[in-house]
Amino acid sequence: MKKIMQFTLLLVTLNLSPIFVHANENQEKDLMNIVKKFKPSNSLLVNPEKPFSTQPIQLYDFNHDGQKEIIATFEIKAKEQPSPSQYGVMVLKKVNNRWEKVWETKRQGVDLDFSGVADITGDGIKEYLFGVTIGAALGSKLEIFQWNDNSIKKIANVPYHEIDLVKGNQKEGLAVWRWYLADSFLVDVLSWDGEKLVYDKELYSKYYPVIEKFYKGKIPKMDAWFYWYCLADAQIKANLFVEASKSIEKGSLLAKKLSMPEVVQTFNKLSDKLEEKKKGLRTNGCFTSIRERLLRQPFSYGTNGAD
């Protein structure tokens, strides 16, 4: 029955598609004309890499007055190539039936990685997230801006190489992937504590299956010590101590076979970290085997993690 209903809806959509397409085209044309009046003359509108399929012009009602503001991202190419471009964003607000630019910022970089809104603070009003890639090794820098009394202020900076949005109960967290070695990453999950972004162990446990899937896909192709190191780090953070111990053992053995004493020492330090975490949980009376409970918890995320 569900499939029949979906098919019926599809037919209706197909029959009415010329009307909707025409309306969308008119709206896009109107928005483009508005944005062109305010963007720098030497700039081009540009799509961010993430969230996937995001357009350079977005709409969101920051102050919940029923009138959506316009968010537009653009690029100003450097006169001398291959120097970094400037990537910018502006917010336009309709005041007394006239559009005005209420905010603009620009950052130098090689790519516009992220542009979108998410309720990071949990107050019911989404913040604007703007991420510019600085370079392959340096990664990207995410800036989080909050609407406050008809003005926009920056409330956080986050360096990253890959980033995901993680759904919490009332707010969204950030899964921050930071480059470690080759194509491996160390991951933290952050959420807003009322004043700043801090590590969130509960959201980390929800997000852990994404990290595990990433490394379980890498290891069969290349059994490298750095994959085991990053996986063990994630397992310690998710309180999966048996799995973490096995990962440390496998990674350390690979390092010994390659005659890499410094790497072996790195694994020894990670093992010490594991023992300290276990000891701390025993002291607090919280030491339990929680893998099954963790994997039963639902999770969702806004952008794709490291692929």
pLDDT score for 175 = 98
pLDDT score for 285 = 61
The CATH class given to the 42-160 domain equals: mainly beta
pLDDT score for 159 = 98
Which stretches of the chain drop beneath a pLDDT of 50?
1-23, 288-307
pLDDT in tens, 237-294: 999 999 999 999 999 999 999 999 999 999 999 999 999 999 888 776 655 444 444 4
**What's this model's pTM, rounded to 2 decimal places?**
0.82
User: Crossing angle for the helix pair 201-218 and 225-237, nearest 10 degrees?
Assistant: 160
Give the strand pairing for 151-160 and 139-148: antiparallel
Q: Residue ranges per domain, the chain?
A: 1-36, 42-160, 202-307
As a whole number of angstroms, the distance between CA 191 and CA 158 comes to: 12
